[in-house]
Structure 1
Amino acid sequence: MLDKNTLNGFKRNTKNKSKESDRESNKFDDGTQIVGTELCQILIHLYDLHSVKSTEKPIVLSKRKSAIISALTSLLCVSTKAKKFALNDGFLEQIITQLQELHVKLSLESVESIRRASDKKRVCPILNDISCIFKLLTNFMLGNERVKLQAVSLGLADLIHKLWNWINFQQNLLIEVLRMLCTFTTECQIASQSITLTSPVAGVGPRKTPTTMSLLHCILHLIGKEMDLVSRSHDLKILTYSFHLLQNCCQAYECRVLISKSNFFQHLNRLHPAITKQQKPWESIELLWLEFLETLTFHPEGQVSVAKSSDTLELIMALTSSPHEVNKMTALAILRNITFYQANRTRLLSSGEFLQILNSKLSNGSIEEKCTCITIIWSLAANNQKAKLILKTSGLECRLQEVLKQWKLGESSLVPKEQLNNLQYIIEMLREGR
């Protein structure tokens, strides 16, 4: 046994060591931050030196510049102090200005020149420089809203739209740009909004109101084109990044309106089980669409547009029976979101297929599926006497009572108490017609 004095001495020593450790940690952090700033300053200076014309051989100069850009790209990814220094030093304006200069060079060429071997030597180095700048921008904007907002004010989205024909010609460059746009729009509503204000016309700056020929429309068209190219061996990177970008764009009202008013949902017909036969890679593409639709239907614009499209709604209902657990749960979550919009409830309650899905899930579904169905029924029945009558005559009240008995007897430990209380309340609400 330790006596009181020994124990107190031990505590004092532990506290002292802890303080010393904290001081050492702070010294290390401060040192790391200083190094990040100094390294960034040196690399930007070297980048400037290698951006001007030189008497050195182009191959040697290109290799050195490539190494500098790689080092700078890596540093900007991991160091917040480096990002802050680069932003305050005007580095973002510098690289976007360089992008504009490269766009001017490309505007003197025909897009078809990339197919001709004689012109490739002149055009490909420009495209390589553009790719390097996009990689640099991706890491520069990563997790830093200040950089993103500055990029918006400098017209980054509009510049990408003007370069789109060239970007669309090279798959690797297209993937790089999509990755950069995903980073650009992540948790930044203003960046997402800027994608609707672009113009492909040279000499015309960003618009003040959304246009019918914006960069967002290019992304929607790209997804449609990729859907037509899907095969067992087709690379899904472009589709994956494009849908990630669309999910980010759903945070902006302007983007949601443009998506809802477009004919984008017509591409969903390719996902019908009768066409896909539940084969690869359709399982992954199905999930990409469903995750996007779930995000879109969190908002009224998505709830209205998805429910208004008969083919889309029928497909979502069909996918609630998918053999893949994640896919069918996401499809059911979309139906739940749609019921939150009051105007959709009458249409859903008049659908025999929809009511049958609820019956089936409450009878044979997993606990998670049953919880989602309970939320759907609650949303439909709240302050709606006609809905309560339809739900009761469809046998859903009996199904809910069966679920309640099942949960109380055998699965009470697996079901959250809140869900159990919700279920009891809904049964009472349907029974009393409240």
Structure 2
Amino acid sequence: MKVSADVRAMIERRKKGHTLAAPFYASEEVHALDMDAIFRRHWIQVAVEPDVPEAGDYMTVELGNDSILIVRDDDMQIRAFHNVCRHRGARLCSSEKGSLGNIVCPYHSWTYNLNGDLMFAEHMGEQFDKCKHSLKRVHLENLAGLIFICLAETPPADFAVLRASMEPYLLPHGLADCKVAAAIDIIEKGNWKLTMENNRECYHCVANHPELTISLYEYGFGYQRSADNEEAMAAFDKTVEERTKQWEAMNLPSKEIDRLADLVSGFRTQRLPLDRSGESQTMDAKVASKKLLGGFQQADLGGLSFWTQPNSWHHFMSDHIVSFSVIPLSAGETLVRTKWLVHKDAKEGIDYNVDNLTAVWRATNDQDRALVEFSQLGVTSSAYEPGPYSPFTEGLVEKFCEWYIGRLDDYANTPDEASVNTHGEKVVSFKR
């Protein structure tokens, strides 16, 4: 789509270290630009491998006007297609999840196998070539059980950097051998960027998340040092250093990797100790599932956080995984999809209780929803102007905004305004 002069001017004058101008959060024009420049051009995390555990299992994902069909084929490979019949464009699968042997169009019964090949199309004549009417494929990457799709013709090539960095961190948790124990969708009445900004800082956590901060150390996500907290922060730093050495000696990579702002497929990870009993993000900081993940023999392995640009974050612990995916619905509405995963052999009511498993993040999500909605009301006020981020607690928010503005600038200044920079790792710098 064409980037208007007004939006180009906003990109140009964005003030580093400050929140975005109001139209970035409230304008439907910017929302349309976000869908085209961000969500149709980049790797978007949309599912987990256990969403489609058996051959023939499928799920659908909506990204703007595009419906994507994710299916596990007979060879147990996960594939993605546009959920559109090649005959007259009818939607193939209308349910969010299901199971099938072949993909059959409900309109005229054109039938595709799970590889997307057209197998049957009645009354089309002898000259009709079925091979030219297979389902349109969507690029898919499976990162240690996390499913990413990209709608671009040529997706960003630096996913290989992400994979090489993150597989050693994620694979020990055995996500592919998990099951989805619970899933909750929330519609936040706020812009998707406010949702992501809220996630990228814990400045607000102590005052707003009593359940989450049971297991999280207060100093774990940035803090301004002072005479009053110097001793406590030094003790926390020492704990992180000691536990990181222990975990890495167990072949559990734990050191921080931060590529949020300098990669097209930006990401960040770090394993941090958990407070109290230090086992899991639960109301008592003990494991929620007795059946540990992977081959783990001990429970106190901290929490591995993994964030991706533009739309996901995940927490990996010894006993369960919590996965979050964000999808814009409009300028003022955002879908936040949360999934809790446990070992596939864990038995509900014996090894885990769903209420206990989900208690912390059910409460935290509801609190964050309210904060995002308060923010959306504020940014639409005539009194709003971009405010400064804390350099101590909101540096990762700034990296999200830096990445976002950089991607818009790259899109706006690409000759056809239609392709992602897939060459090299650096995000194209944006003008000041």
Judge same fold: TM > 0.5, yes or no: no
Flag the structure with higher strand content: 2
Question: Highest Rg: 1 or 2?
Answer: 1
TM-score where L is the length of structure 1? 0.18
TM-score where L is the length of structure 2? 0.18
Greater relative contact order (Cα < 8 A, sep 6+): 2
Flag the structure with higher helix content: 1
